Amino acid sequence: MYSRCVLSENPVVPAVPFAVNSVCVPLRFLTIVFGAGPEEWPALYPQCGGRLQSPIDINTSGILYDPSLQPFDLNKYGVYDGAQMNLSNVGGHTAEVKYSGTPIIISGGSLPDDYVLDQFHFHWGEKDDEGSEHTLDKHRAPMELHIVHHMHHYNSSEAISHPYGLAVLAFFFEIGEENENFKQLLDYFPQIIHKDQEVHITPFPLSKLLPKGSTTYYRYFGSLTTPPCYETVIWTLFKDRIQISEDQINKFRNLTTVREDGNGTKEVKIGRDFRPIQELHERRVYSNDVSIQVCATSKGTRDRLTLAAVVTSALLLVLTLC
Ligand SMILES: [Zn+2]
């Protein structure tokens, strides 16, 4: 049933000045390897204690329907001529496919600009009832895919500290039948079992890994989920899930990292590579799901709500980094 929303403008991200001077961002923030646990991050990386942090719980009863949210044009995900793809066990934290070569650019989705695909990676756990970073009504999915893009006006390292510099498209997983579309990727996993192993892989279309025809999504403004936790990410979480079998997800769980213990270092399974849920604070989550009956009230109200959060965050960033 259609909601009777009248919002017709396009204020998906707040049009506010985000007073971050990228010159203020010291290089040490980009080069420190985060060895501390998430509870220690705010002391080491002040942005990690901000009010626009990710991941969050998507409380479906609090989502606002926004008819101005446009569909995405993800056609370029089907193109891989000229793309180069490298799969790696990044720092013993995640499995990541990094792109180089011909840029893959997405548009639409009411993003403020075109965005260039950088990489995609996964978050998983030790059991089927944990793994995703975001939760839906407090429930964790067994895995979550993050497809990371940067605003095309910047390069990827500049973009992470610019307002709306990054756009991450996320998909939850569910356990089910074997997904043949993952076979090509997973066949490389024995070559990245150990921390920092990397392998060049034969390019394939990213669209192959995603649910067909996914259009319904949730939208909010948040942060990187690892230090330095910059609050510069436009998050899009799709409603449709990717199906994968238990055997296939176990290939992720077999990847290892290196941990310190009293007797030195030892190799262990990565285990749980997801950050705890962060407070929503002043933010709202919006969706183009027409079955949601509560509408975004008005552009002005929504922008004011987000303005307070963004300005607070920007001031914190400037004060702590300059
Ligand atoms: Zn991620």
Q: Render each residue's pLDDT in the chain as its tens digit; 322 residues.
A: 444 565 544 444 543 333 333 323 333 333 334 567 889 999 999 999 999 999 999 999 999 999 999 999 888 899 888 999 999 999 999 999 999 999 999 999 999 999 999 999 999 999 999 999 999 999 999 999 999 999 999 998 899 999 999 999 999 999 999 999 999 999 999 999 999 999 999 999 999 999 998 899 999 999 999 999 999 999 999 999 999 999 999 999 999 999 888 888 999 999 888 999 999 999 999 999 999 888 886 554 444 344 444 544 554 444 444 3
Identify whether 148 is part of a domain. yes
Total H helices, total E strands in the chain? 6, 17
| pLDDT score recorded for residue 74 | 84
Distance from C-alpha of 134 to C-alpha of 253, rounded to nearest angstrom? 19
Number of domains the chain contains: 1
Distance 97 CA to ligand 1 centre (A): 12
Q: Which residues surround ligand 1, an ion (CB under 5 A)?
A: 146
Q: Does the annotation count 152 as an active-site position? A: no
**Cα distance between the two ends of the chain:** 51
Identify whether 308 is part of a domain. no
Identify whether 105 is part of a domain. yes
pTM value? 0.85
Identify whether 4 is part of a domain. no
Distance 201 CA to ligand 1 centre (A): 21
Distance from C-alpha of 187 to C-alpha of 317, rounded to nearest angstrom? 42
Identify whether 249 is part of a domain. yes
Distance from C-alpha of 81 to C-alpha of 298, rounded to nearest angstrom? 43
How buried is residue 248: exposed, middle or buried, by Cβ count under 10 Å (0-12/13-18/19+)? buried
Distance 319 CA to ligand 1 centre (A): 27
Identify whether 320 is part of a domain. no
Domain that holds residue 90: 48-301
Distance 63 CA to ligand 1 centre (A): 22
- The residues near 85 (Cβ < 8 Å, ≥ 6 apart) are 97, 98, 99, 200, 201, 202, 203, 204
Q: Identify residue 318 by its one-letter amino acid code.
A: V
CATH for 259: 3.10.200.10
Catalytic residue among 93, 134, 139, 162: 93
In whole angstroms, how far apart are CA 46 and each of 25, 27, 53, 190? Answer: 12, 15, 11, 37
Contact 64, 286 (CB under 8 A): yes
